[in-house]
Amino acid sequence: MDTLGFLMQGMGVALQPMNLFWVTLGGVLGTIVGMLPGLGPATGVAVLLPMTFSMGPEAAMITMAGVYYGAMYGGSRSSILINTPGDGAAVAATFDGYPMAKKGKAESALAISAIASFFGGGIAIIFMVFCANTVAQFALKFGPSEYFMLMVFALTATAAMSRGNMVKGFISMIMGLMISTVGLDALSGVQRFTFGIMELQGGIDFLVVIIAIYALGEVFKSFKNINKERVEMQTKFGKIWITKEEWKRTKWPILRSAPLGFFIGALPGAGGTMASLMAYNNEKQMSKHPEKFGEGEIIGLAAPESANNAASVGAFIPMLSLGVPGSGTTAVMMGALLMLGIQPGPMLFVQHPNVAWGLIASMFVGNIVLAIVNIPLAGLLVRVLAIPEKVLYPLVLGLAFVGTYAIGNSTIDFFLLLVFALVGYIMNKENIPTSPLILAIIVGNMMEQSFRQAMVISNNNLGTFLKSGVSITLFILAIGSVLVSIYKTHQDKKKFKKLDEKNS
């Protein structure tokens, strides 16, 4: 069957009435969670994960994709209306979105963010349809040494992204790998770091760590601002739509930013934040009136919104086709798949085409559903922002605990949740990035197994990791990502030094 045939098969799954219901419900809940300050798509998907435990794999993935997509839509709502981004990817939406709302153009801002998200996501899905299977076919040729090098590259690239803080990025990565070694060793059956606790024999579930760091960690962080007064928010809106003139000005920036977002999203660790900031800077540099950016320029909102939704689709490529998640949220979704007994990676397209293509097709459907939900119902949905944080955060904690219990049916996980929330708090205090830790926990086991399998096959010859063209390329890319990061940090320092000299 060709790509379009598979896509049609996926459409058959995504358009089933029950799956349409799930993607809509997931989308609406995701929009609501995504809107809440500090709670991004990763937290949204993690907290809402238990919803999917009784579903089949197709429905579970489709629901989670709806939550993810919805959270991406929702994230910008709080940026525009209260200048508080739902997550990092929505930060760029505050630059011009909030000034637009302050100037009385909240309706245009809400509409263009949904329209740009729709086109950004839509274009990226088309790219994905053609890329995912190709990458998966290519990855079928990977042996253990190629897989090991792929994970080395993914982790190195993610750690190296922490520019100016690379050592801390690598510390975070090693912490994640250390956590992944807890439990029974899959190859020898030996217990490692279990300290006689039976519940630890199965290892530490990375979903528990993710919920701890993203949900509890956010609540801990919120203690600092809990008594601060909130920005006054507009609650009554006129027609949420844009003028023809506004569409004319924004259509090309939207179309340009989507492919950029998609490719950045597909890179391990890069994600929506970088995609949206790059799209914003690109448009600012291309504009004849860059001085208007930051003052309520609609292009400054449209471009990052298109890019971050495209990035959220791009992040599925490494997860589905290689089995290596490209972002925190896809990491949670990968966890959901693993819980359902499905291993993401190249074989997913061969063994479970219904899941892979049903998910891709549901993105088309979800994108349309969310545009419909988010434009006419935006005025209604944003009322969630009126819930005081003092009520909201305990609710998030409550949901986090139900989710955690549902994962392992054990209250030992509550203690783990607390321990890792404290780890997240210390990491935040020490400015240690958390994404390398999350990715490392997920790929750690696979990475070690690939390493040991490759060593057994090659009779303990380390040279096996640089034998094939693919391994060598991945190794060069890993080294390259570190060197590029060092170079960019150096450039940043130079820039700051020049600025300091100018100011003094």
59 vs 279, beta carbon nearer another protein: 59
The residue with tokens 């597909």 is 266
Tell which residue, 90, 177, 202, 215, has the closest CA to residue 438. 177
73 vs 451, beta carbon nearer another protein: 451
163 vs 168, beta carbon nearer another protein: 168
Q: Which phi and psi angles does 15 have, rounded to 5°? A: -90, 5
Q: Tell the smallest beta-carbon distance from residue 88 to another protein (Å).
A: 21
C-alpha distances (whole Å) from 205 to each of 200, 407, 447 are: 9, 8, 16
Positive or negative CA dihedral for 147, 152, 158, 161?
negative
373 vs 423, beta carbon nearer another protein: 423
The residue with tokens 């990855």 is 139
237 vs 414, beta carbon nearer another protein: 414
Distance CA 202, CA 434 (A): 23
In single-letter form, the type of residue at position 359 comes to L
Q: Tell the smallest beta-carbon distance from residue 444 to another protein (Å).
A: 9
236 vs 391, beta carbon nearer another protein: 391
Q: Which phi and psi angles does 298 have, rounded to 5°? A: -65, -30
15 vs 397, beta carbon nearer another protein: 397
What is the radius of gyration, based on Cα positions, of the chain? 22
Distance CA 360, CA 349 (A): 11
Q: Do 489 and 163 contact (CB within 8 A), yes or no?
A: yes
Q: Do 349 and 321 contact (CB within 8 A), yes or no?
A: yes
226 vs 472, beta carbon nearer another protein: 226
Q: Tell the smallest beta-carbon distance from residue 409 to another protein (Å).
A: 6
Q: Tell the smallest beta-carbon distance from residue 54 to another protein (Å).
A: 4
Distance CA 63, CA 49 (A): 9
The count of other CB atoms within 10 Å of the CB of residue 52 is 24
25 vs 126, beta carbon nearer another protein: 25
Positive or negative CA dihedral for 383, 385, 390, 395?
positive
Tell which residue, 96, 453, 50, has the closest CA to residue 305. 96
189 vs 469, beta carbon nearer another protein: 189
Q: Tell the smallest beta-carbon distance from residue 457 to another protein (Å).
A: 13
461 vs 473, beta carbon nearer another protein: 461
Q: Do 34 and 71 contact (CB within 8 A), yes or no?
A: yes
Residues 239-249 as b/e (b if ≥16 CB within 10 A, e otherwise) read: ebbbeeebbeb
Q: Tell the smallest beta-carbon distance from residue 152 to another protein (Å).
A: 12
Q: Tell the smallest beta-carbon distance from residue 418 to another protein (Å).
A: 5
**DSSP state, 190?**
-
Q: Tell the smallest beta-carbon distance from residue 153 to another protein (Å).
A: 17
Q: Do 139 and 385 contact (CB within 8 A), yes or no?
A: no
C-alpha distances (whole Å) from 299 to each of 276, 289, 305 are: 12, 11, 10
Q: Tell the smallest beta-carbon distance from residue 392 to another protein (Å).
A: 9
55 vs 385, beta carbon nearer another protein: 55
The count of other CB atoms within 10 Å of the CB of residue 392 is 18
Phi-psi region of 208 (alpha: psi -120 to 50; beta: other; left: phi over 0): alpha
Q: Do 303 and 280 contact (CB within 8 A), yes or no?
A: yes
Q: Tell the smallest beta-carbon distance from residue 461 to another protein (Å).
A: 14
Distance CA 169, CA 162 (A): 6
**DSSP state, 232?**
P
299 vs 336, beta carbon nearer another protein: 336
Q: Tell the smallest beta-carbon distance from residue 306 to another protein (Å).
A: 34
Site residues (CB under 8 A) for another protein?
A: 50-51, 53-54, 167-168, 170-171, 174-175, 177-178, 181, 185, 187-193, 195, 219-220, 223-224, 226, 390-391, 393-395, 397-399, 401-402, 405-406, 409, 411, 414-415, 417-418, 422, 425-426, 429-432, 448, 451-452, 456
Q: Tell the smallest beta-carbon distance from residue 150 to another protein (Å).
A: 17
Q: Tell the smallest beta-carbon distance from residue 438 to another protein (Å).
A: 16
End-to-end CA distance of the chain: 67
